[in-house]
Amino acid sequence: MSDETVSISESVSNFNTYSVELRTKIDGILKQVLLVSGGIQTITIGAFLSGKAPTLTAEVISLLKLGWLSLSISIICCLSLMLLQIFAMVQVGLKQAKKLQELRTGVEVMTAWLPLRIFNWCVGLTAFFSCVVGVFLVSKAAIHLIGGNGVA
């Protein structure tokens, strides 16, 4: 379909659909990162700090500490991003309310403040990559515990 045959209202509808789908995917990955980070922390902290904990070498303890720290950073970033997304939605809502109060007509793309959007992306990417690093470090510690010291 060429650009000339798509009406403004159809374009707006398509953009709204895209925005909802993107937010749904972001929410989904946030929930997965929270589940993985929290789950691994819970399981490993319980296993390694229980009365039947394996003997931990200094290297394994260091890997676990760094892994748990990375997973904690991931959880904190996920929760922060969820709150920041609410702030962004409130800001968009306030812009829309102002437009309606002033009886302005026409199509207008309502987006959150650019620095907030950039900050949200940074926080979200930090959450994701901290989770990946945390999973790697805890997995590496587990490999060391079962005798796989040859793994990089």
pLDDT at 111: 83
pTM beyond 0.85, yes or no: no
For the chain, 152 residues long, the average pLDDT of each consecutive 10-residue run is: 72 84 92 93 80 80 94 96 93 87 80 92 97 96 77 48
List Cβ<8 Å contacts ≥24 apart for 136-143: 136/67, 137/63, 137/64, 137/66, 137/67, 137/70, 138/40, 138/44, 138/63, 138/64, 138/67, 138/68, 138/71, 140/63, 140/67, 141/44, 141/60, 141/63, 141/64, 141/67, 142/44
Q: What is the pLDDT of residue 2?
A: 56
Give the start-to-end residue ranges of the domains of the chain. Answer: 3-145
Cα angle at 82 between 81 and 84, to 5 degrees?
60
Name the one residue in this structure whose structure tokens are 């374009």.
11
User: What pLDDT score was predicted for residue 148?
Assistant: 60
pLDDT at 68: 94
Instruction: Please name the residues in contact with 112: beta carbons below 8 A apart, sequence gap of 6 or more.
Output: 87, 88, 89, 91, 92, 120
Q: What is the pLDDT of residue 57?
A: 87
Amino acid sitting at position 98: K
Residue written as token pair 């929290």: 38
pLDDT of amino acid 9: 79
CA distance 1 to 125: 35
